[in-house]
């Protein structure tokens, strides 16, 4: 019983710490832009944005190139975009190119599986990192 209580307290502590470092208004605005672009599974995509940009506040990641989703080009370099809107449009095109074909072959699979199967997520670690962010988006943003 003590172990269960300790685990619960630790999870609660880490979720509060994660939640306190997030500018909710900024996240809502970005989520609304992602959704307005017609991107499928915007809650997952918003979580990807949070993961790849340190909650839209990192200084040493691809965000400095308006790259919201951590897209890379040859030579392991961040893909550069002229604006965040251009990056969102790129994600929409990227998703549209792959998602329909994948969904036909995997009608019961979730978006985590999609990201892994198309090579966006390189392994289970990414899924584990993304899941709490998806939950945060679903809990704190107006979907």
11 falls within a domain: no
8 falls within a domain: no
Residue 1 has pLDDT above 60, yes or no: no
Predicted local confidence at residue 122, as pLDDT: 82
Predicted local confidence at residue 21, as pLDDT: 78
Burial class (CB in 10 A: 0-12, 13-18, 19+), 62: buried
Q: 3-class secondary structure for 59-103? A: CCCHHHHCCCCCCEECCCEECCCCCHHHHHHHHHHHHHHHHHHHH
Domain that holds residue 79: 24-140
79 falls within a domain: yes
Q: For residue 61, what is the domain's CATH number?
A: 1.10.530.10
Residue 58 has pLDDT above 70, yes or no: yes
Domain count of the fold of the chain: 1
**Cα–Cα distance between 46 and 34 in angstroms, integer?**
7
38 falls within a domain: yes
How would residue 138 be classed by pLDDT, with cut points 50, 70 and 90? very high
- What is the pTM assigned to this prediction? 0.85
19 falls within a domain: no
> What are 65-119's pLDDT values in tens digits?
999 999 999 998 999 999 999 999 999 999 999 999 999 999 999 999 999 999 9
16 falls within a domain: no
């Amino acid at each position: 019983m003590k172990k269960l209580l300790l685990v619960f307290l630790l999870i609660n502590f880490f979720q509060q710490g994660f939640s306190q470092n997030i500018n909710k208004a900024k996240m809502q605005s970005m989520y609304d832009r992602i959704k307005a672009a017609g991107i499928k599974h915007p809650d997952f995509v918003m979580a990807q944005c949070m993961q790849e940009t340190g909650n839209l506040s990192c200084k040493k990641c691809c965000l400095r190139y308006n790259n919201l989703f951590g897209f890379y080009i040859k030579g392991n370099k961040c893909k550069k975009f002229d604006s965040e809107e251009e990056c969102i449009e790129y994600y929409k095109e990227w998703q549209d190119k792959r998602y329909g074909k994948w969904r036909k072959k995997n009608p019961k699979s979730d978006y985590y599986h999609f990201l892994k199967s198309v090579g966006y997520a390189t392994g289970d670690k990414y899924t584990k990192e993304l899941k709490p962010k998806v939950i945060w988006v679903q809990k704190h943003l107006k979907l």
